[in-house]
Amino acid sequence: MKKDITTLWDLNKQEIDHLLNSSISLKNDHKQGADKHPLVGKSVGLVFDKPSTRTRVSFEAAMIQLGGVPMYINVGDTQLIRNEPVSDTARVLSRYLDGLVVRTYSQQLLEDMAQWADIPVINALTDLYHPCQILSDIMTVVEQKGGYKGVRIAWIGDGNNVAHSWINAAAILGLDLVLACPSGHQPNRQIMQKALDKGIGKIQLAKTPQEAAKGADVLYTDVWASMGQETESALRKTAFEGFAVDEKLVALAAPKAIVMHCLPAHRGEEISHEVMEGPQSVVWDQAENKLHMHKAVLEALLKTWR
């Protein structure tokens, strides 16, 4: 049976722990120049309908380092743009490729693709979720904090796709997650409720960024206007006033707290220049770890779990 990652709910705690261990050992192998090539002869299509620097390049490099071949497929260059049904596209691509990595707007479209494809479909960001981002971010938390258990993670900012995947991860792994979001920009209620109902995590909403940041081990933020929300940028800047991760907010966190951002960042908006470039920022490790986690995900879905 093929396995997809449409949301983190497609994985259980054991599987996420496997990916964490595997990504860390793949990283060690790579640093020692001892890459293995388990995906020789395999190819993966990257079907992207939104811009990307990190996710695209890290998935492509991951596939190459594992001995396989990545193929970038801009949606605008396919017949999807001329309304060929997703069901037809997914079945055709399944006859050529061994996996699909998909970045698009609609979560439903991605799930339809997974339903029709005979090959694993991996969510590389939709308007609703960014599961692989959170997998690599937890890898960074494990590296920095020695594990994820008991680590207090504070999300400051928009209740967006990245926040939603953190909420899912908290429910599956039992994370301690507190979110501070301006009113009108809270996480999706159903996503929150499902996590609270099914999960084992401690998931809370804070009234202010200060309340969330207090004593936190990880301060995490993301852009105030996500891809597709560009026209709301000005309005959002007003709504998010006071939600910047700056030196004052970092001072409220635990003394050895780390600051995370999935990037791209807007310095002077959701994060100050000083914090982004400061000693507590781990954003470059975070970006690097996308490569190692994507290798773990590709190896698991295309080989180990097939």
Closer CB to ligand NVA, 176 or 222, in the complex: 222
The 8 Å CB, 24+ separation contacts for 159-162 are 159/185, 159/186, 159/187, 159/188, 160/222, 160/226, 161/125, 161/126, 161/127, 161/128, 161/129, 161/130, 161/226, 162/130, 162/133, 162/134, 162/222, 162/262
Is 226 a binder of ligand NVA (CB under 6 A)?
yes
Rounded to whole angstroms, the Cα distance separating 192 from 195 reads: 5
Closer CB to ligand CP, 89 or 123, in the complex: 123
Among 23, 65, 133, 226, binds ligand CP (CB under 6 A): 133
Rounded to whole angstroms, the Cα distance separating 201 from 174 reads: 4
Among 169, 262, 293, 296, binds ligand CP (CB under 6 A): 262
Per the omega criterion (within 30 degrees of 0), is the bond before 264 cis?
yes
- Given a contact cutoff of 8 angstroms between Cβ atoms, the answer to whether 40 and 199 are in contact is no
- Given a contact cutoff of 8 angstroms between Cβ atoms, the answer to whether 123 and 132 are in contact is yes
Strands of the sheet with 43-48, listed across from one edge: 69-74, 43-48, 99-103, 121-123
Is 222 a binder of ligand NVA (CB under 6 A)?
yes
Is 5 a binder of ligand CP (CB under 6 A)?
no
Q: From the list ligand CP, ligand NVA, none, which binds 265 (C-beta under 5 to 8 Å, kind-based)? A: none
Q: From the list ligand NVA, ligand CP, none, which binds 169 (C-beta under 5 to 8 Å, kind-based)? A: none
Closer CB to ligand NVA, 147 or 228, in the complex: 228
Binding mask 166-195 for ligand NVA (x = CB under 6 A): ------------------------------
Helix (H) or strand (E) holding 256: none
CB count within 10 Å of CB 186 equals 15
Q: From the list ligand NVA, ligand CP, none, which binds 160 (C-beta under 5 to 8 Å, kind-based)? A: ligand NVA
Closer CB to ligand NVA, 162 or 302, in the complex: 162
Among 139, 262, 276, 300, binds ligand NVA (CB under 6 A): 262
Nearest approach in angstroms of CB 41 to ligand NVA is 31
- Six-digit token string for 137: 């971010």
- What one-letter code names the amino acid at 152? R
Binding mask 36-75 for ligand CP (x = CB under 6 A): ----------------xxxxx-------------------
* Contact residues: ligand CP, CB under 6 A: 52-56, 125, 133, 262-263
